[in-house]
Amino acid sequence: MSDGALQGVKLERDVELGGVRLRVLDWPGYDRPLVYVPDPFTLQPDLAPRIAAAFAPKHRVVRIQPRSDVPYQAQTDDIRRVMQQFGFAGTVLVSSGCGACILLPLAAWYPRLVSSVLLIDPCYAPPAHDSLTARSLRDCPPDWEKLRGRCRMLTTKSEERVPKLEQLL
C-alpha cells in the first residue's frame, strides 16, 4: 500500500481490555509509532490531529484517552496495555501539561515499549480539585527527578513541538 492510500485515513475505535474500555484514534503509518496522550486535567486543544498531519502516514500516530478519575498509576497501566495490545515497541510518547504524570512513569517502568518522550509545556503538579487522579498524585507522587533520569526525554513549548519531535524519531 502506498503512502497516498493512507494519507488522511483516521480510525476511531473503543478498545476493551479486561473490562476497561478506552477511546483510541489511529492514523495508520509504516514506521515507529507515535502515541499521544492528552492532559487528563484540562480541555486543551487535541494535538493528535496536528501531529498526525505532520507525521502520518510515515509514522503511525495513535491517540489514547485514559480513563478519568482513576489513580495515575491505573492511567499509566491503561496506556501500557493498549500499546502492548497493538504490539508497539520503541514508541515515541507525546503529551502536554499534566500528561507528563502518566507518560514519565510509563517510559521509566517499561523501557522496551518506549524509546523516548516529548513533553509539551509539562506540568507535574496536579490541580487542586478532588479527583482521584489529582489526589493520587498529591498523596503518592512519583520521584520526578528519578523518572526523568531513566528515560530519553525532551521538553518543549507548544510552538516548537514539530521540530523537537523530529529529533526523537
Task: List, for residues 32-57, the tens digit of each pLDDT value.
Answer: 899 999 998 887 777 888 889 888 88
Q: What is the pTM of this model?
A: 0.87
Per residue in 114-165, pLDDT tens? 999 998 888 888 888 889 999 999 999 989 899 888 888 888 776 566 666 7
Domains of the chain: 3-168 (3.40.50.1820)
How many CB atoms are closer than 10 A to CB 143? 11
- Cβ(14)–Cβ(23) below 8 Å: yes
> What angle separates helix 72-85 from helix 132-139, to the nearest 10 degrees?
110
Q: Can you tell me the distance from the alpha carbon of 40 to that of 82, in angstroms, rounded to the nearest whole number?
A: 17
